[in-house]
Amino acid sequence: MQDRKAVICSLEESRQELVALAKSLTSEQLQLPTENEGWSVKDTLAHVASSEGGLLATVNRILGGQVATRPGFDLNAYNQQQVEKRRNRSVDELLAELDASRPEALKRFGELTDEQLATRGNMASGTPIDVISVFQRIGDHERLHCDQIRKAIGK
């Protein structure tokens, strides 16, 4: 099993990277398209702002014994809904959402036993995963989208 401190460090670093990048973006850069079809840089930030809550729901679903996602769940449609719901929010509002979600994630992470962290289930995509790896995925997901944003703005 991964080291708890390493996961926390990864989460802290990925969030710092994301926030610094978001704060550096100009209004013109926010409108640039990304490799995510139909999403601008700002839409990608909106997606990341919504994702931590969804990943915490995955943790709770796995720990509740629900190994698979609900029948008929469409991850792409869900992600698009979440982006559209946030499309008119400012970057500051998206950053506030991020600020609110991280303490919740760290609190939940700290409450879990090693046995709970090792519990296996599936991501919404159907990919098998254990709970500790869902937390690691939060940071990896932020880094992935930071890379996409940097690519879109030419950095």
Q: How confident is the model at residue 2 (pLDDT cuts 50, 70, 90)?
A: low
pLDDT value for 97 = 95
Q: What is the CATH number of domain 4-153?
A: 1.20.120.450
Q: Are 117 and 132 in contact (CB under 8 A)?
A: yes
Cα–Cα distance, 155 to 141 (Å, whole number): 19
In this structure, of 9-18, 22-31, 39-48, 70-79, the range with the lowest mean pLDDT score is 70-79
pLDDT at 26 over 90: yes
Q: Which has the higher per-residue pLDDT, 120 or 155?
A: 120
Q: How confident is the model at residue 6 (pLDDT cuts 50, 70, 90)?
A: very high
pLDDT value for 154 = 94
Q: 2: Cβ–Cβ under 8 A, 6 or more apart, which residues?
A: 132, 133, 136
Average confidence (pLDDT) over 68-85:
86
Q: pLDDT above 70 covers what percent of the chain?
A: 97
Q: Which amino acid is at 35?
A: E
pLDDT value for 71 = 73
Tell me the average pLDDT of the chain.
93
Phi, psi for 128 (deg, rounded to 5): -65, 145
Average confidence (pLDDT) over 79-104:
95
pLDDT digits over 43-52, tens only? 999 999 999 9
- Helix or strand (DSSP H, E) at 75: helix 75-86
Q: Which tokens belong to 39?
A: 């999403």
